[in-house]
Amino acid sequence: MALTYNGPTQVAVSASLVPTAALSSATASCVAGQPVSFSLSADPLNGTSGAYSLGSAKASGTGAVTGPSVSTAGWQNGVYTLTATYAGATVGAVSCPAATTSASLAVTVSGQAAVGDGWYNIPGVGLTNFGFVVALKAHTTSTYTGALAVVVPGKWLFQANVTSYGKTSSTQGLLGGTGTLYWWNAALNHGQGAWQLAKSGVTYTAAANAATKSAAASFGITIKYTAAPPQPTSLPNSAPLALTKGVIVLS
C-alpha cells in the first residue's frame, strides 16, 4: 500500500482547508471505498499538542481521496504536521496493509514577515516537504517569532521554532532556531510504523529564496544532528534547491 498527501501545504486563517491524498495498491479492492483520515499534530485553536482530527473520506476507484472542507476560523498561525492515515483492512480474503504519510501545513495571517511552503527533491534523500512562518513579535520592530517544519515522508520529521530571521538581499531570508527531530521507525505501532524521537533541542539554519524572473524559489536547511543506525542515513540537509511546488514570500 502507498499513501501520498497531495493537498495544500499552506492555508490562511479564516479560510477553508480541503486536504487531499492518493491511495494506491496493486490490489484494486484495497483502494476503492477505503477510508483515509486526516489530522494535525496539534489543536490549531489553542496549540495543545496531540492529534486534531480533520475528518475522513473514502477513496474513489482511482484512489483519490478528498477530505471534508474545514474552516480555519480561529486557528493560530504557525506550522503544523498534517498526517494522512489508512488504518488497513481485510477485504474478502485480501489483507490490505496500513499506510500513512505526513506533510507540513503553514497557517498564515496577514502582516507576516515571511512565509513559505512546498516540495523539493534532495538527491540521496528523496522528496522533501517544508513549511515556515515568521512574524514580528508584538510591540517590536526587530524581534521575530515563528515556526518551521521539514518532512521527508517515511524518514524524517523536524518541528522547530524560528527565533532568528534576517534578509541578506531582497530575495533571500535566513532562518534559525531549535527544534525536535523524529525518525520514522517502521517497527513501531505493531509494524504499522510511527515517528520516534531522535533528539530535542536540535539547532538549525535555513535559507529561503523567493522566486525571481530568472530563478525558481528555493529552500535549504542544515539540521545539526548526526544520524545513528537504525535511523535513515541522510538528513534532509542541503544548499537551497529549487521547489517543484510551492511559494516563498519575504518581506
Contacts 24+ apart (CB under 8 A), 223-230: 223/150, 223/158, 223/179, 223/181, 225/181, 225/198, 225/199, 227/183, 227/198, 230/185
Dihedral sign, Cα of residue 143, residue 131, residue 150, residue 69: positive
In terms of Cα–Cα distance, which of 78, 97, 80, 81 is closest to 89? 97
Q: How many other CB atoms are there within 10 angstroms of residue 146's CB atom?
A: 26
The whole-model pTM stands at 0.91
DSSP assignment of 91-118 equals ETTEEE--EEEEEEEEEE-TT-SEEEEE
Per-residue pLDDT of 5-63, as tens digits, reads 999 999 999 999 999 999 999 999 999 999 999 999 999 999 999 999 999 999 999 99
- Whether the CB-CB separation of 57 and 70 falls below 8 Å is answered with no
C-alpha cell at 108: 498564515
Residue 40 CB-density burial (10 A; 0-12 exposed, 13-18 middle, 19+ buried) = buried
Average pLDDT along the chain:
95
pLDDT value for 196: 97
- Whether the CB-CB separation of 234 and 225 falls below 8 Å is answered with no
Bridge partners of 102?
A: 83
pLDDT category of residue 137 using cuts at 50, 70 and 90: confident
Burial letters 12-30, b for 16+ CB under 10 A, else e: beeeebebbbbbebeeeeb
Element (H, E) at 221: strand 218-223
For 219, list phi and psi in degrees, rounded to 5.
Answer: -145, 145
pLDDT category of residue 125 using cuts at 50, 70 and 90: very high
